[in-house]
Structure 1
Amino acid sequence: MSFISAHVLDASGGRPAVGVAIALKAADGEELGDGVTDADGRVSDLGPDGLTPGDYRVVFGTGRYFADQGQQAFHPEVEVRFTVVAGEQHYHIPLLLSPYAYTTYRGS
């Protein structure tokens, strides 16, 4: 299992969000990994096997996802910033999405 994983659920359709591009970036913007959500709305291998403590961000391509669904969306992308703490084994970042709102939390 990768150190970082993500999951996107499309709340407007009540289903996994398939085909969402996701990028893992360092605080300075360097891209460390990327992926596209699968049939279950997941990317289980997003980046390296470990990260040094510090600030990172995961960027979800939400505008493109909704455009591909034939829908307009308010957010062209969603950026989730988070801090990696020494000693942690895994970070899972879920995103609950609709065309005009989103929510996220630290998953397990």
Structure 2
Amino acid sequence: MGRLTTHVLDAAHGCPGSAIKVELYRVEGSQLTLVTSALTNSDGRVDAPLLQGDDYRSGVYQLQFNAGDYYRGRGVALPEQPFLDVVVLRFGIDAQQEHYHVPLLISPYSYSTYRGS
């Protein structure tokens, strides 16, 4: 069965990104519909798949990671307008029976992602 999962690694501190708010939206044209939101656990992972079962279908999705709040919570001094406050990843799911894993590697000034397994 297909599912969508994610996790966050903090490259600036060399640890999992814990207690980061993650929001998943379905994108239809210019319309964003919130599907779910969650917090990452102490291992930087969301405890349950963000999509699975009947909710898991082909389409365009957007993950939003509240990186600025995370770094402020760690005591990192960020400018009033941080370079990366909310990291937005827009991606497509095409195969309904595959596992899509979208990891995020962050620092206050950069991020990287890929389709994992």
Work out whether residues 2 and 44 of structure 1, in 8 Å CA contact, stay in contact via their aligned partners in 2. Answer: no
User: For the structure 1 residues 49 and 97, does the alpha-carbon distance in structure 2 shift closer, same or farther, using more than 3 Å as the test?
Assistant: same
- Aligned positions of 1:50-61 closer than 5 A: 50=53, 51-61=56-66
Work out whether residues 35 and 46 of structure 1, in 8 Å CA contact, stay in contact via their aligned partners in 2. Answer: no
Shift of 1:90: 1.6
User: One-letter code of the match for 1:54?
Assistant: G
Runs of 4+ in 1 over 6 A off after TM superposition: none
User: One-letter code of the match for 1:84?
Assistant: I
- Aligned positions of 1:1-108 closer than 5 A: 3-27=3-27, 28-50=31-53, 51-71=56-76, 72=78, 73-108=82-117
Shift of 1:45: 1.9
Shift of 1:65: 0.4
Could you list the per-position Cα deviations for residues 2-25 of structure 1 after superposition, in whole angstroms to 9, with x for gaps in the alignment?
811111000011000111000110
Work out whether residues 34 and 46 of structure 1, in 8 Å CA contact, stay in contact via their aligned partners in 2. Answer: no
Alpha carbon RMSD of aligned pairs, Å?
Answer: 1.7
Could you list the per-position Cα deviations for residues 32-88 of structure 1 after superposition, in whole angstroms to 9, with x for gaps in the alignment?
111111010001424331422111111101110011111114211101111011333
Q: How many residues align?
A: 108
TM-score of the two chains, using structure 1 as the length reference: 0.90
Structure 2: unaligned runs, 5 residues or longer: none
